[in-house]
Structure 1
Amino acid sequence: MNILYLVNMNEKNRKGLFTATHEKLKEIIKHDDIDEYKVYSIQFCDAGLMKLLKKIKNKEIRNKGANHFEYEGITYEKIYIKVGVFNKIFEALNLDVLNFLPTLIKYKNIIKQSDLISCHWGYPHGRIAFWMGKIYKKKYIVTYHGSDVHTMPVKSSHIKRKVICVMENAYKNIFVSNKLHIDATKLGYDKSNYVITKNGVNFDKFYEITQKEKNEIKNDLNLTGKVVGFVGNLNKIKRADKLVEIFDNVSKNIDEEISFVIAGDGPLKQSMINDSKLKHLNIAFTGNVDVDEVRRLMNIMDVMVLPSENEGFGCVIIEANACGTRVVASNVGGIEEAIGNKDMLVESGQDFEKRFADKICDVLNSNYEKEKLIKRVHSNFTWEIVAQDEINVYKGAKYE
């Protein structure tokens, strides 16, 4: 089969969505059923009056960058789609095909030669797959990862209409958790053209390291005692704005030395640094780090936290568990399916920060079977299984 992949990947932020998409593709393309494939990362760049308006409002301007990037044997070609004021109008008026038409024409031969389009992100990437399918009579599938279902369509009625259209016309929709499918039904999606596949872990990248290595990492970061940490984007959907308060509550209620580490970047980073200094907390802010450093940081954590407002699945949970690290998380989205232990979950609501901190303290004061935690991940979350699920969808599309 010849598969055309459309992805939403930022090579400068190689975690979360990037990792889930890349690891899945890496496993799929090994399969005997894949004869040819091309991978295009859809990027958007501001143009014309849009650039000027953003400059006046002191907002980040999206510019065209490199034409491709390579990572672990996969070449990701980039398609840049211009976004101007008129493009926004077309989008709102349901005339978004006009925004994508230059791309659809430019790549028509590649689209025609493909047997199937596999898209990894619901909107606008899924909408591009929809128009490819409609104009060139191609079947397409879309994998949904989280905020492309539970957040973006909820905040925008015109995105909601388009996402539902994409879902209804897809050959198959792939949701990374049962909860994400439930969220799709709340939008109005009610068809049976879907499958559920979890995400996986690359066990060559996430594993337990030696105690000597752990001590060296802690010393390098000036961390002492027990360590509580976070890995992810520093934005409100991850509830990063609550991390410093949660950590402050932990430090006040734990009867032993404790320190904290936050790996990631985002719009809330500087305010979090300022707050941590006011509260005199020992928090190491590492910024964005590569996968090897993520593994190292997860290994020194006695508890990792994920207090998100919503999550499609929560890959970071099973990655931490593969390192032998326990995770305390909010009970939202697909997190329960990833964590597999309701005792590690905290409900949203009143006094969330205090209750979350209390749960962290309880976990820090309790014993657990590390080997059992690691074994669960190895038994249930392999990319080989996930990739085979998608290959089965390809086969169905080919022979139906």
Structure 2
Amino acid sequence: MSTGKLYLVLARLQKRYLEVNHVRVLLVNHFPLEGSGSGIYTKNLAMQLVKKGHEVCVIAPDHQEVQMKGCEVRTIIFSDGKNCCYEVDFNFPCFTTHPKSYLTFYELSEFQINRYVDVFEKAMKEAVEEFVPDIIHCQHLWIAPYCASKLGVPYVVTAHGTDIKGFCRDERYHPYALEGAKNAAAVITISKQVDADVEKYYGVESGRRRLILNGFDEEIFRPRDLNRSDVLKSLNLNTDYEYVVSFVGKLTDFKGVDVLIRAAKIYSQEIQNVITLIVGNGEKYDELVKLRDDLDVKNVYFLGHRDQDVVSEIYSIADVSVVPSRNEPFGLVAIEALACGTPVVATNQGGLVDFIDETIGSLVPVEDDIALGEAIEAEILSPSKSERRQRAARKAMEYFSWDRVVDDVVRLYTDVL
């Protein structure tokens, strides 16, 4: 960056710090704005920042240009094998999977890693020179913070947990992740488990860590009075079921969908007229369908990836939503289900223990399909179902509204500046 440009940035930073109420934020994510927890986080944060009068520019990958009302989106175009105009001749990599890509970071060659770093460096440098942000907010302790460390603009990072899984799995990314963590002004952690892991693996001291729990989109996820039969009909399913169990998430090993299928074998034998809806996609899809068929589990349906509006409808008609993860850094899907007034049965680890209790659901041991099946059955047959639904929605709104989250994030921005 030239001396003149650096002076302009510093002058703008000083002016913004004095104004406090107006910040120009460059948001950077490794994944599209739909289809992953961090993508939804980025989109919601951008919209809420704009709503509160801040200016936002977003950098994210996808297969075509993306637009968002109220802010600029600079899309890095990756190839999906179908699009003809792209900047990178391979699909965007993931920590696990994504509805738009099954390629993982661990499969990239050294050449592809270097190419990936180069395109993010280029996109972020151009955004800094043209958008002139006061602060950069990167998602994941990964490549983006490393690129931000070279740009002379203060930056913060949100650690989402899947980045920590990637750090533990592939040492080739350690130099990037550690450099990005070392120079970050602050690291936002989304759960107590992620907070402890950021200190353990990256050495980020407590003074630079800020625990800010995730939020949900109140306009989409809210209690709704929907007819169960109508929603099932819209999904091309039999409308005669009396009870609904839902799962939403990636079909990957750590999500524990195989445990849910085994549990479904248990509760579907005890409860008549129950349907289990599995929403999401991933590399375990075929394996999970085969497991369902091998176990001869009735009324378990795989619905693939669905838009958030449809997911909200499924939560609203569900008697219980299930998060059977082997490891779950936070569990945004659990918050979204609660916001719709749906009790949640989840595993007793990771970020889920921070907010799930017996008043709005239950926690069971990891890998225990019997305990999971019994907990789901108890929730379906609960005599206080109406009260539990109301309590779930109230707790989500009180602790996890984006209005609260964005205020905490902006306070961090101003502290940094």
**Cα distance per residue 1:60-88 (max 9 Å; x no partner):** xxxxx32x212454442212574899x84
1:148 has 2:152 as partner: no
Does 1:272 find its partner at 2:288? Answer: yes
1:23 corresponds to: 44
Distance 1:163 1:190 in 2: 12
Which residue of structure 1 aligns with residue 186 of structure 2? 172
Tell which deviates more after alignment, 352-361 or 335-344.
335-344
The answer to whether residue 156 in structure 2 is matched with residue 137 in structure 1 is no
After superposition, the Cα gap between the structure-2 partners of 1:314 and 1:338, relative to the gap in structure 1 and judged at 3 Å, is farther
The aligned runs of 1:1-400 (5 Å cut-off) are 1-10=23-32, 13-14=34-35, 16-32=37-53, 34=54, 36-42=55-61, 65-66=63-64, 68-80=65-77, 82=88, 88-89=109-110, 100-101=117-118, 104=121, 108-112=125-129, 113-130=132-149, 134=150, 136-149=151-164, 151-191=165-205, 192-211=207-226, 213-219=227-233, 220-222=236-238, 224-252=241-269, 254-278=270-294, 279-341=296-358, 344-348=362-366, 352-368=368-384, 369=387, 370-398=389-417
1:77 counterpart SS class: strand
Deviations 1:27-69 (A, max 9, x none): 012234x2x43211146xxxxxxxxxxxxxxxxxxxxx32x21
Q: Which amino acid aligns with 2:348?
A: N
1:122 aligned counterpart, secondary structure: coil
Distance 2:303 2:253 in 1: 19
How far is 1:198 from its partner? Answer: 0.9
Cα pair distance change 1:103/1:231, threshold 3 Å? closer
Q: Does the CA-based 8 Å contact 2:323-2:345 persist in structure 1? A: yes
Equivalenced residue count is: 359
Who is 1:60 aligned against? none
Whether the aligned pair in 2 keeps the contact of 1:230 and 1:261 (CA below 8 Å) is yes
1:127-182 per-residue CA deviation (whole Å, 9 max, x = no partner) reads 2223xxx3x32211111112112x11111233345323322210010111122111
Question: What is the SS of the residue equivalent to 1:70?
Answer: coil
Matches of 1:14 and 1:104 in 2, distance apart? 24
Q: Structure 1 pair 103/222, CA: closer, same or farther in 2 (3 Å)?
A: closer
Deviates more, 1:74-83 or 1:290-299: 74-83
- CA–CA distance in 2 between the matches of 1:258 and 1:106? 49
Specify the SS of the correspondent of 1:396.
Answer: helix
Q: Percent identity?
A: 24
- AA of the residue aligned to 1:320: A
Structure 1 stretches lacking a partner, 5+ long: 44-64
**Kept in 1: contact 2:330–2:351 (CA 8 A):** yes
User: TM-score with structure 2 length normalisation?
Assistant: 0.78
Q: Compared with structure 1, are the counterparts of its residues 340 and 111 closer, same or farther at alpha carbon in structure 2 (3 Å cutoff)?
A: farther
Deviation of 1:280 after TM superposition, in Å, equals 4.3
Q: Distance in 2 between matches of 1:37 and 1:242?
A: 41
Higher relative contact order (CA 8 A, sep 6+): 1
**d(CA) in 2 for partners of 1:99, 1:197:** 29
Deviation larger for 137-146 or 242-251 = 242-251
| Preserved CA contact (<8 Å) 1:305 1:328 | yes
Gaps of 5+ in 2: 1-22, 78-86, 91-105
In structure 2, relative to structure 1, the CA distance for the partners of 1:91 and 1:270 (3 Å cut) is: closer
Q: Which amino acid aligns with 1:361?
A: E
Between the aligned partners of 2:246 and 2:119, the Cα distance in structure 1 is 45
Deviation at 1:319, TM superposition (A): 1.0
**CA–CA distance in structure 2, aligned partners of residues 378 and 18 of structure 1:** 21
Query: Contact 1:160–1:187 at 8 Å: present in 2 too?
Result: no
Q: How far did 1:356 drift?
A: 1.4
AA of the residue aligned to 1:5: L
- Sort the Cα spacing of 1:320 and 1:72 in 2 relative to 1 into closer, same or farther, 3 A: farther
TM-score with structure 1 setting the length:
0.81
